[in-house]
Chain A
Amino acid sequence: MKHSGRLVVVPLVVAGVWLLAVQTAWGAPVLTPRAATPRPVPAPPSDTCVNCHRALGGRLAEPALKIADDIHVRRGFTCAACHGGDPTAAGMESMDPARGFVGRPKAADLPALCGKCHSSPEIMRRFNPRTPTDQAARFLTSVHGQRLRAGDTKVATCTSCHGVHPILAVSDSRSPVFPGNVPATCARCHADAAYMRPYGVPTGQYAEYQASVHGDALLKRGNRQAPACNDCHGNHGAVPPGVASVANVCAQCHASQRDLFARSPHRAAFQKASLTQCTACHDDHGIRRPTDDMVGATGRAICAQCHTAESQGGQAAATMRQSLEALKGSIRTAESVVATAENLGIDMIEAKLPLSDARTQLTLARNLVHSLSLREVQTAVTVGAGLSRKAEDFGHAGLAEIEYRRRGLGVTLAILAVLLIGLILKVRAVPETAEGG
């Protein structure tokens, strides 16, 4: 009887503790009442455009189905804002021209249609005060805008780039004008040879851009600091940069190079030869990562395109290249020694700073090539070489320390070995065991 009582009590206690644990501290709501079914989401206000087009299916339903993501719809606009008509009226009455229905706007009318709001500071202030209100005006100054005014409806208008149904915010990564998507958006027309044929515009820019240092940064590495098409060409007022303005476009990011170039003898020479400043050496859409191979008077060097090896310019270019190579070699040696010491466990923090400064001097020297001043390049190289030697000295001191430690370990192990042999001899001399304990 006593045992059977225990048999009942023990499971009850275990079950009680279990329930308490589950209900309180351990927090899993397995025994709590089920959550009530979520209340139905209230239906959106009646909009006959959306309601009817959704029901139509196929091509006609598509805009109504996709419109929910549209930036304008999210700010409270309806289809009628662009298409006119009365979304509160039922049936075909909502599409009555008498109620302002315009249907599908014509391409030529789009700048004015979008500009109704986007050119109005009063309206834009209410929705997005940071958006400029001169886009429509600037569009009309662009090649696209001018051709549109001349009656060419094949050119890009607002929706060609921004999309339609839905028009997404520029900051939305799905938008065709989100920075990373801009090159592909422009390429839809500009990489289409058949489409571009009447205009005589080349179509290889997109492929070149994809392979360029800018394309690599933006498209492959997602670096939104890298320029897309519109960063050089402008967007609403897009024009191809002229010979004189290329340097200014590049200088938006590469100001130092522009300044060095501006005070170099190349500036006047390029103007005389009608060469575009930056792109003459670096190319335009297909700008590759610059290498030291570009400097010099032989082989793949860009300088060799105009200067012979024997000319004064050619000799200066060759000397610059030698100086750069010498600094690179000096830095490589220092890096190798420092890395070896570091891998062996020596703290190389003191070598890191001069090494980093030496690399900075190399970058500076490469940049100074734009000035064409051999003296300036060699000054930077000399400073850099001194810094890399300093780092290398730290590395050698580290390696010497390693050597010292290893010799110390050798001596220590030798002493321990002697001690060990002595102990082993002593152990053998002393009787090990005694019976009985």
Chain B
Amino acid sequence: MGVGSWLEERVRWRAADAFLRHKDVPAARHAYVYYFGGITLFLFLVQVFTGLLLLMYYRPTADAAYESVRFIMARVQFGWLIRSVHSWAANLMVFWVFAHMFGAFFVRAYRRPRELTWVSGAMLLFLTLAFGFTGYLLPWNTLAYFATKVGTEIVGAVPFVGRALLVLLRGGEDVTEATLSRFFGIHVAILPALTTVLLGLHLFLVQLHGMSRPDARGAGRSMAFVPAFVLREATVWVLVTAVLASLAVLLPWPVGEKADPLASAPAGIRPEWYFVFMFHTLKLIPSHVLGLEGEQLGVVGFMLAAVLVVAVPFLVREEQPGRATRVAAALGVVALIFIAVMTILDYMGP
């Protein structure tokens, strides 16, 4: 009995092989959008691999976290490469998650029966942001410390449960070692577990329903998943690898100065670039609006926006592009411009 037959008897792999051979993907006008999800998946895999390696040396205590990151960067063989790739891939992943979401949004990939694919994707976006937020604190440097302080203060502005959420996140009233070990636990255990489940569901649904066609009326042109699409996706992955390697070598991620909780916050402190639009919006809102605190109003606004993002497939249910689709597309463009303008304004400020 050959190896193939031996495995077939036990894991029925020929069924998967037949599925992949018959699987095809749309070859539409905006076909490049179909690669965004794959890039995000690739970067996630890079994060898992490099994250596991960093775990070998990283120590999540206020006394040792910064020193262990410095040790990884200076002493561990190729530690600098692994950490720089992890940091750069994290940022690229956030970028591509957003690109994937906006791409799927504008080609209306959320239409029936792919509502749950969209919802799981939106959840994965939030999980990615949570990965970024919790991972940023782990090197325990000055910027990370104060950015986390500001970030968790914003969480504290959530109406009714903000205070409890803040204490829960920080593990106390202030950002301390308790926060560090909490963020570490969330970053390396809770978020990966949730992501694995949701990513599994997301990929399963993508396989189940296939990739969405921008025009629902006709079948249009198609491309064989294996080998045509896989080869193209592999080409993109190789390109991303080259970009990642170049960034890691030419612009290694800095370690910064060790966090000093007793020092005053450095000037111009701001969160990671993907949170900056929210941060700047909250700065622009007046301190009191209609008897409510401005910051709370802003936080509620962003929470509503997150709910709206999740609910897109249930709010825009047209099979063919109609009024609701046009309104949604216009809102999408406004959201993109808003994010870009707020981010630029903040970086142009002091």
Contact = CB atoms under 8 A, between A and B. Distances in A.
B74 interface: yes
B222 A28 contact: no
Interface residues of A, number: 35
Contact of B292 (A22, A31, A409): A22
Contacts of A31: 291
A431 interface: yes
A433 B221 contact: yes
A437 interface: yes
B245 A409 contact: yes
Interface string A383-419: 0000000000000000000000110110011001101
A432 B223 contact: yes
Contact of A406 (B26, B249, B292): B249
A187 to B, nearest CB: 35
Contacts of A345: 80, 84, 251-252, 254
A405 B292 contact: no
B239 A347 contact: no
A18 to B, nearest CB: 9
A434 B80 CA distance: 46
A416 B241 contact: yes
B27 interface: yes
A30 interface: yes
A28 B293 contact: yes
B235 A433 contact: no
A55 interface: no
B291 A30 contact: yes
Contact of B235 (A26, A30, A427): A427
B74 A349 contact: yes
Contacts of B84: 345
Contact of B238 (A22, A405, A423, A436): A423
B172 interface: no
Contact of A25 (B27, B160, B221): B160
B291 A426 contact: no
Contact of A28 (B27, B73, B241, B288): B288
Contacts of B255: 347
Interface string B75-110: 000001100100000000000000000000000000
B249 A409 contact: yes
A434 B24 contact: yes
Given A345-B254, A349-B70, A409-B250, A25 B159 contact: yes
Nearest to B253: A345
Interface centre among A26, A349, A427, A436 (most CB of B within 10 A): A26
A433 B245 contact: no
B185 interface: no
Contacts of B70: 347, 349
Nearest to A424: B235
Contact of A436 (B222, B228, B252, B296): B222
Contacts of A8: none
Contact of B221 (A22, A408, A427, A437): A437
A420 B291 contact: no
Contacts of B1: none
B231 A423 contact: yes
Interface string A115-140: 00000000000000000000000000
B286 interface: no
Nearest to A398: B74
Interface string A15-35: 000000110011110110000
Contacts of B251: 345
Nearest to B235: A423
Contacts of B223: 432-434
B20 to A, nearest CB: 15
B215 to A, nearest CB: 12
Contacts of A431: 224, 228
Interface in A76-96: none
A406 to B, nearest CB: 7
B301 interface: no
A22 B291 CA distance: 7
A435 interface: yes
Contacts of B250: 406, 409
Interface in B1-49: 24, 26-27
Interface of A: 21-22, 25-28, 30-31, 345-347, 349-350, 405-406, 408-409, 412-413, 416-417, 419-420, 423-424, 426-427, 430-437
27 contacts: A25-B160, A26-B291, A28-B288, A28-B292, A30-B291, A31-B291, A345-B252, A349-B70, A405-B80, A406-B249, A406-B250, A408-B249, A413-B246, A416-B242, A420-B235, A420-B239, A426-B227, A427-B231, A427-B235, A430-B231, A431-B224, A432-B223, A433-B27, A434-B24, A434-B221, A434-B223, A434-B224
